[in-house]
Structure 1
Amino acid sequence: MTASASSRLSIEDWTERALALVMDEGVGAIKINRLCKELGVTKGSFYWHFADLDALLEAIAERWCAETRTLLGSLSALDDLPPLERIRAMALRLIDGPSFSVERALREWARSDAKVAAMIVESDQFVFELVQAALVDLGHTPEGARMRAGLLVYAGIGFAHGQNSLPQPTADDIEDLVAFLAGEAAR
């Protein structure tokens, strides 16, 4: 994106490009000079919107948190599906290539940003509770559902971090994982 005299960059333009850099290269790639060059503007444009780099990082974190809350809200819509279909729909998100990059980048960023870390915790807990509820709806005991939900959530985190060194799961692998975790309902 290049800014022209007739179009000024907005905070959304800055955070969109910066968030893309975080996803591609990590938070360390965010540099004022680099962003200005990529966006075709001067540092004055940057400082018009942000006091400093930390203010941009805060804006990026706020944007990602808002987007994550929207995504989590959309997962709640799965409640209308039968339990096994809810689990399958959530599990199939594990093989979405861009999701791996986002997951890795944000978990790394969370190591140095409390706001991002809190959002990761909120997100993980929300997904865990959705999966656990679906497993209980399948007939598993709360304890059995808790264990299986943990396995699936941890598998998702592991898929994201092992992407470059381990085979990427396929849709068939996810189906097998769901079948394994759903198993026979506890009696």
Structure 2
Amino acid sequence: MTVRPATRLSAEDWAVAGLHLLEAEGVEALQINRLCSELGVTRGSFYWHFADVAELRSAVAERWRAETRAVLEELGRVGTLPPGERLELMTLRLVDDSWWSAERAVRGWAATEDSVRTVVEESDRFALDLLTRTLQDVGHEPHEARVRAGLLVYAGIGFAHGRNGLPRPTEREVRTMMRVLAGPPDPEPDVGKDA
């Protein structure tokens, strides 16, 4: 699909187009000629913003990081909602197809490029910290919240990579998973009582 720009493209326009191409066809498709064709522009337009394809790829990885972080921050800002509802909103991202095509593509790319791996690791730490804070708001002690948050993050990463070969969970199943992994804190044991 060739798009004829009405105005001069920005570096951000190139990064967005690159991310869409990455989602659709993988990192190998992130080539100058291919993007110029998709955008309906000349190579000169590309070189106005980037020195080479490596610089473009960095911009694409940064665009993914920014989009991912914005979504997570928005979910985390839903502070007026009870923590359980915040967790549910975060977890329901697992059944959102628009989220996972980019997620899978970027994570695959991170396996072969250190700079992209760094971006993915930062994003994962951000998600882990956000979930940990939300689970503490639910009432879990810090260590317990971190363990449960880790399980949720790992479940999400696994879902991104396993969703083609495994049955897609329904929203109800995702909510059940969230309740199991993030459920209420365990009650304090009765110390000193006879069993």
TM-score band (shorter)? Answer: 0.7 to 0.9
**Alignment match, 1:8:** 8
- Give the match for residue 155 of structure 1: 155
Partner AA of 2:4 in structure 1: T
Residue of structure 2 in register with 1:124 after alignment? 124
- Which residues in structure 2 correspond to 1:37-116 (within 5 Å)? 37-116=37-116
> Is the contact made by 1:23 and 1:105 (CA closer than 8 Å) also made in structure 2?
yes
1:23 counterpart letter in structure 2: E
Instruction: Tell me how far apart the structure 1 counterparts of residues 184 and 67 of structure 2 sit (CA, whole Å).
Output: 36
Q: Offset at 1:152?
A: 1.1
Task: Show the counterpart of 1:185.
Answer: 185
Change (3 A) 1:134 1:70: closer
TM-score, normalised to structure 2, is: 0.83
* Distance of aligned partners of 1:101 and 1:36 in 2 relative to their CA distance in 1, 3 Å threshold: same
Identify which range, 112-121 or 102-111, moves more after superposition: 112-121
Unmatched runs of 5 consecutive residues or more in structure 1:
none
After TM superposition, give the deviation of residue 97 of structure 1 in Å. Answer: 0.5
* Contact 1:100–1:163 (CA under 8 A) maintained in structure 2: no
Partner AA of 2:160 in structure 1: A
Tell whether the 8 Å contact from 1:87 to 1:134 is kept in structure 2 after alignment: yes
Do the aligned partners of residues 141 and 97 (structure 1) sit closer, same or farther apart at CA in structure 2, a change above 3 Å counting?
A: same
Letter of the aligned partner of 1:77 in structure 2? R
CA distance in 1, matches of 2:139, 2:159: 27
1:45-77 Cα offsets, whole Å, 9 max, x none, are: 222332221121122223333333333332330
Amino acid at match of 2:167: P
Q: Which runs of 5+ in 2 are unaligned?
A: 189-195
Tell me, in whole angstroms, the C-alpha distance in 2 between the residues paired with 1:80 and 1:20.
33
TM-score by length of 1: 0.86
Residue of structure 1 in register with 2:140 after alignment: 140
Mean Cα displacement is larger for which, 122-131 or 112-121? 112-121
* Shift in CA distance, 14/136, structure 1 to aligned 2, threshold 3 Å: closer
| Whole-Å separation in 1 of the counterparts to 2:157 and 2:89 | 16
The secondary structure found in structure 2 opposite 1:80 is coil
2:104 partner SS: helix
State the superposition RMSD in angstroms. Answer: 2.0
Tell me which moved more, 135-144 or 93-102.
Answer: 135-144
> What is the CA deviation profile of residues 104-134 of structure 1, one whole-angstrom value per residue up to 9, with x for unaligned ones?
1111222233333222222212222222233
How far apart are 1:184 and its partner, in Å? 4.4
Matches of 2:69 and 2:178, distance apart in 1: 25
CA shift digits 1:68-110 (9 cap, x unpaired): 3333332330333212112111101111111111111111222
Q: Percent identity?
A: 52
The alignment covers a number of residue pairs equal to: 185
Q: Amino acid of the residue matched to residue 52 of structure 1?
A: D
The structural deviation recorded for 1:163 is 1.4
| Range moving further from structure 2, 163-172 or 50-59 | 50-59
Q: 1:14 to 1:134 in 2, by over 3 A?
A: closer
